[in-house]
Amino acid sequence: MKKSIIYTLVLFLGILSVSAQSKEGKIDHKKLRKEFYESLSQDQKSALEDKKRLRKEYKEIMKTSFSKEQLAIVEDKTLSKQEKRKALRKTFNDKQKEIFEKHKTLMKKEREKFKASLSDIQIEQFEKLEKRKGKRGKHKKRKHKKE
């Protein structure tokens, strides 16, 4: 009886500490993102807005070019975002592939142009934000490879 109480207590404390750490990470990330955004000049903020607008335009252009099969993939609730992207990419026709590549190149140029406008401190913050985003994606990729 005493061992089971101790075991339960240790288990509870372990779960509590893990959940507290993940919340701290989210709070730190939000704080960093807020600090980064506040440190940007008006031109830099408008560059970010332009990137966001370009992304939305790309999504709309692609969506209007989708076939019924591709729209069915988009509307499939059983697939995650990543699975939908992967399935859609396999069904792209030549024109869609061309649009995708052009957009990818354009976004890369925009990112490089934006990064060139940052100060050393801003670059450090930007890379921390990007690094975290990258880790999430890599973790998911590793998970899929094991399956």
Whole-number CA gyration radius for the chain? 21
Determine the residue type at 65.
S
Phi, psi of 68, deg, nearest 5: -60, -40
Which of 6-10, 45-49, 80-84, 143-147 shows the lowest mean pLDDT across its residues? 143-147
pTM of the model: 0.65
Looking at the predicted structure, is the pLDDT value of residue 15 above 90? Answer: no
What dihedral angle (degrees, nearest 10) is formed by the CA atoms of 129, 132, 134, 136?
-140
Q: What is the DSSP string of the chain?
A: -HHHHHHHHHHHHHHHHHHHHHHHHHHHHHHHHHHHHHHS-HHHHHHHHHHHHHHHHHHHHHHHH--HHHHHHHH-TTS-HHHHHHHHHHH--HHHHHHHHHHHHHHHHHHHHHHHTS-HHHHHHHHHHHHHHHHHHHHHHHHHHH-
pLDDT tens per residue, range 97-143: 999 999 999 999 999 999 999 999 888 888 888 886 655 554 444 44
Token look-up 């990543």 returns 82
Question: CB 88: neighbour CB atoms within 10 A?
Answer: 19
